[in-house]
């Protein structure tokens, strides 16, 4: 699929790098671009002269799609469509992002989220489409000739049905998180701009390739954490156990991107829950990019996290294999206000990963020390082995008729171990 890019900015020069990457991620080959610096034109978004230029560019290149890196109103799409060769589709940044998400959505949850986002995108446009469809000259414009008020009701009821189903998935996930916490795991989420290297880092930190112990129970989980040099490789969440002394589960998440309208973010809210409900967030940054770009992306990530995140954030400067030491120091200094005390690693090459695991261990909420004196009962040894699984056991001392266990664990694990200990039944002496 070939395409040309169009981008309008109010001032300065238009940067088309990201939209080109997005187009590529959706499967397009970008043949050319047109940019313009001016205020928005109500009818065409870009200037009328620019539209004429676009028309001849489309004719010359023979593309079937034009991608705008702007938000286009339905009337603007309609008007532009009338000026360029017939049957050429005009899409904007948000339709493109939805398109990518739609292609990547593998799990039921991801599919529902995409569907929800599409419906939310469409809802405010229904009116415009109805009135456009009524215009005689293009009765079947965008195949939407049959639009009417009932379409709006339809969309609204579909939206509420999807929201219900998503809420029930979110509940299952919340339940799963609680179970994991109770069995002593700390939850660490990898967050960051798309293509920063989150999935690569997840694989580097993971103890094993098995997705997680609960895989069978949770068919909604994605089974792989693929990496690829394209935007939005990861849409669902993948959870793996980290290769660390402390029991840590790492979750990979959907990448952030700038300039996402709230209805889209809203649709992916339950995916972001993995980030918001974590005990620690690793904010992964691609340090090989130009500093201005890094800064903008970090700000976008902070904005996305800002509202609901409560966990401490550790900034991870990833891809240090791609920069030299001087450059790294320079960027570290330039980012010091935004990202104090970052850890610099290369997920791909495995550089400095130990410093990162040390840091994760240090920044997680501290474990509490506990000491239990257990009577020698039938289930005593199974409780000791449960403690080995769910806590950091420091010492076990066996006496004639009791066992002393010293360990450190999360408060919830300590509570459960106490209640288990109180349930130990001492065999009646013969
Ligand atoms: N040079 C270098 N490249 C890396 C490193 N880590 C990841 N990459 C590359 O960066 C690209 C993106 O990596 P991913 O792990 O897919 O990134 P992501 O953050 O999961 O991306 P999304 O899932 O799309 O949000 C891939 O081509 C990786 O090979 C690194 O440490 N050094
Ligand atoms: Mg990924």
pLDDT of residue 11: 95
pLDDT of residue 106: 77
Backbone angles phi, psi at 283, to 5 degrees: -95, 105
* CB distance 203 to ligand 1 below 6 Å: no
Q: Are 374 and 424 in contact (CB under 8 A)?
A: yes
* CB distance 256 to ligand 1 below 6 Å: no
* CB distance 171 to ligand 1 below 6 Å: no
Q: Please indicate whether residue 119 or residue 220 has the higher confidence score (pLDDT).
A: 119
What mean pLDDT comes out for the span 272-284?
A: 87
pLDDT of residue 210: 43
pTM for this predicted structure:
0.77
Highest mean pLDDT among 107-116, 180-189, 218-227, 287-296: 287-296
* Helix H or strand E segment including 190: strand 186-192
Q: Are 253 and 233 in contact (CB under 8 A)?
A: no
Ligand that lies nearest to the alpha carbon of residue 193, given by its number in the listed order: 1
What domains are there in the chain, each with its CATH number? 2-91 (3.40.50.11060), 184-211+220-363 (3.40.50.300), 368-423 (3.30.1370)
Q: What is the pLDDT of residues 280-324, one digit of tens each?
A: 999 999 999 999 999 999 998 888 887 777 788 999 999 999 999
User: Ligand 1: distance of its center to the CA of 201 in Å?
Assistant: 8
Q: What is the pLDDT of residues 314-354, one digit of tens each?
A: 999 999 999 999 999 999 999 999 998 999 999 999 999 99
Q: How far apart (Å, rounded) are the C-alpha atoms in residues 232 and 24?
A: 11
Q: With 80 as the cut, is the pLDDT of residue 407 above it?
A: yes
pLDDT of residue 215: 40
Residues in the annotated binding site for Mg(2+): 199, 234
Binned at pLDDT 50, 70 and 90, residue 371 comes out as very high
* CB distance 194 to ligand 1 below 6 Å: yes
Ligand 1 atom 7, closest CA: 197
Tell me the pLDDT of the chain averaged across its residues.
85
pLDDT of residue 228: 66
- How do beta strands 2-9 and 280-286 pair? unpaired
Ligand that lies nearest to the alpha carbon of residue 345, given by its number in the listed order: 1
**Residue 157 DSSP code:** H
Q: Please indicate whether residue 139 or residue 69 has the higher confidence score (pLDDT).
A: 69
Q: With 90 as the cut, is the pLDDT of residue 105 above it?
A: no
pLDDT of residue 216: 38
* CB distance 193 to ligand 1 below 6 Å: no
Q: With 90 as the cut, is the pLDDT of residue 230 above it?
A: no
């Amino acid at each position: 699929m070939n395409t040309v890019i169009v981008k309008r900015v109010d001032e300065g020069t238009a940067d088309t790098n990201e939209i080109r990457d997005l187009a590529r991620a959706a499967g397009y080959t970008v043949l050319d671009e047109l940019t313009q610096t001016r205020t928005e034109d109500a009818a065409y978004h870009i200037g009328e002269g620019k539209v004429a230029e676009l028309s001849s560019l489309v004719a010359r290149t023979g593309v079937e799609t034009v991608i705008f890196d702007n938000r286009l109103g339905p009337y603007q799409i309609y008007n532009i469509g009338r000026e360029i060769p017939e049957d050429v589709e005009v899409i904007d940044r948000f339709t493109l992002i939805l398109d990518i998400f739609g292609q990547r959505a593998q799990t039921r949850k991801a599919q529902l989220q995409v569907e929800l986002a599409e419906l939310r995108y469409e809802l405010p446009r229904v009116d415009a489409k109805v009135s456009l469809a009524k215009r005689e000259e293009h009765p079947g414009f965008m195949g939407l000739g049959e639009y009417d008020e009932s379409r709006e009701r339809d969309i609204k009821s579909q939206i509420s049905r999807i929201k219900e189903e998503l809420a029930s998935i979110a509940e299952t996930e919340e339940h799963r998180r609680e179970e994991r916490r109770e069995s002593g795991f700390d939850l660490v989420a990898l967050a960051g701009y798309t293509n920063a290297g989150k999935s690569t880092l997840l694989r580097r930190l993971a103890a094993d390739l098995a997705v997680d112990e609960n895989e069978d129970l949770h068919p909604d989980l994605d089974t792989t954490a693929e990496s690829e040099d394209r935007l939005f490789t990861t849409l669902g969440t993948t959870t793996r156990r980290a290769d660390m002394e402390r029991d840590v589960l790492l979750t990979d998440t959907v990448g952030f991107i700038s300039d996402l309208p709230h209805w889209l973010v809203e649709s992916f809210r339950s995916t972001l829950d993995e980030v918001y409900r974590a005990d620690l967030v690793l904010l992964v940054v691609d340090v090989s990019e130009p500093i201005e770009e890094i800064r903008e992306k970090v700000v976008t990530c902070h904005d996305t996290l800002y509202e609901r995140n409560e966990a401490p954030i550790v900034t991870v400067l990833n891809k240090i294999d791609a920069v030299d030491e001087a450059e790294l120091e320079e960027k570290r200094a330039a980012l010091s206000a935004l990202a104090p005390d970052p850890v610099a690693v290369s997920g791909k090459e495995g550089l400095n990963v130990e410093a990162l695991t040390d840091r994760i261990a240090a920044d997680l909420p501290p474990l509490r020390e506990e000491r239990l004196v257990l009577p020698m009962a039938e289930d005593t040894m199974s409780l000791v082995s449960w403690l080995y699984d769910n806590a950091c056991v420091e010492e076990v001392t066996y006496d004639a008729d009791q066992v002393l266990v010293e360990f450190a664990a999360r408060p919830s694990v300590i509570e459960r171990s106490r209640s288990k200990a109180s349930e130990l039944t001492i065999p009646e002496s013969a």
